[in-house]
Amino acid sequence: MAQDPRESGRQELPTGEELARAGLGLTVDGAVARVTISRPERRNAMTGRTWTTLAHIGQALPDDVRIVVIAGEGDIFSAGIDLNMFTPEGVDGERSIVAGLADGSADEADLDAYISELQQGFLWLRRPDLVTIAAVRGHAIGAGFQLALSCDLRILADDARFCMKEPALGLVPDLTGTKPLVDIVGVHRATEICLTARKVGAEEARELGLATLVVGVDELDGAVDDAVAALLATNPEAAVATKALLQQAGDNTLEEQCAAERRAQVGRLTALARAMTAGA
Ligand code: ACO
């Protein structure tokens, strides 16, 4: 049973109104949460509020959620940041990213803190207690690509296109995407993809390891459902421990990783033995 958020001190999930203002949809059904990027009239472009609300969702998800699926409404994942965020007016009363710097009301430290706040919307998707899936149709540009990179699995329709557009706009990718990109494709290919800002199609994404699976457009929902069912069939505690172990592997020496495997396995075997004793 999920704990009542009020008892655990955890936030309540965003209201429907808050989600709509952030351009998001959310359903939670038992162990599966589904987040939809939902601003179709702007090609699912996202704003600062989208990412602070995503962070809020991460903090407020019930304990029994194990899988998070992120998709875009309609035939596109996301056109990335709403480019109006860079205009002095911003978007719908949301602060402009540049206005404060231009008029002197914000300094570099303020902007650093703001970007850090936005990054929280992406970081929680790495949590070991969740398996996160990006279901990608059409373009995933800039921040959209980085959102997909924040997920554990990327299931792509064959019309999917990734593009790291930021350098072409005079920016750097700063929404947590550079590390997973380099981890997956290596610094050489990541440099080429980012500095040309070219589009990477679904087939190439599969060859590069950026796509877990590529299917026909009409098969995307079914492929995601199959992945969700397979993930839910795995022992939940073992899944958490294994994801945590895999996440350390890149930074650990072999010796450190072997020690981490032993610690995790001792924990697992102890729990399994206790369960056997309790059931005897
Ligand atoms: N921000 C704000 N509005 C957008 C964005 C965006 N990122 N992307 C699309 N829109 C708007 C368009 O301005 C247009 O509005 P209008 O109907 O009022 O004219 C509407 O969405 C439809 O856009 P089209 O370009 O007509 O749609 P199309 O399907 O032809 O192309 C595509 C889609 C490829 C996504 C294209 O819109 C595009 O390249 N968008 C910009 C992508 C971009 O540069 N994103 C920022 C990357 S950097 C980052 O994310 C940090």
CB 61 within 8 A of CB 225: no
Q: Is the CB of 45 under 6 A from ligand 1?
A: yes
SS3 percent helix, strand, coil of the chain, rounded to 5, is 55, 15, 30
Tell me the two tokens of residue 87.
């205009």
In percent, the amount of the chain with pLDDT more than 90 equals 87
Instruction: Tell me the three state secondary structure of residue 253.
Output: coil
Residue 53 phi/psi, 5-degree rounding, is -70, -35
Confirm whether pTM is higher than 0.85. Answer: yes
Read off the DSSP letter of residue 216.
-
238 CB contacts (<8 Å, ≥6 apart)? 268
Tell how far the Cα of 237 is from the centroid of ligand 1, in angstroms: 42
The candidate with the shortest Cα–Cα distance to 238, out of 271, 213, 208, 207, is 271
Q: What is the band of 8 on the pLDDT scale with cuts at 50, 70, 90? A: low
Q: What is the band of 9 on the pLDDT scale with cuts at 50, 70, 90? A: low
At 75-126, the pLDDT tens digits run: 999 999 999 998 888 888 787 878 787 788 888 999 999 999 999 999 999 9
Tell me the two tokens of residue 123.
């970081």
Q: Is the CB of 169 under 6 A from ligand 1?
A: yes
E-assigned strand segments in 137-255: 139-141, 153-157, 161-163, 199-201, 213-215
Q: Is the CB of 148 under 6 A from ligand 1?
A: no
At 138-176, the pLDDT tens digits run: 999 999 999 999 999 999 999 999 999 999 999 999 999
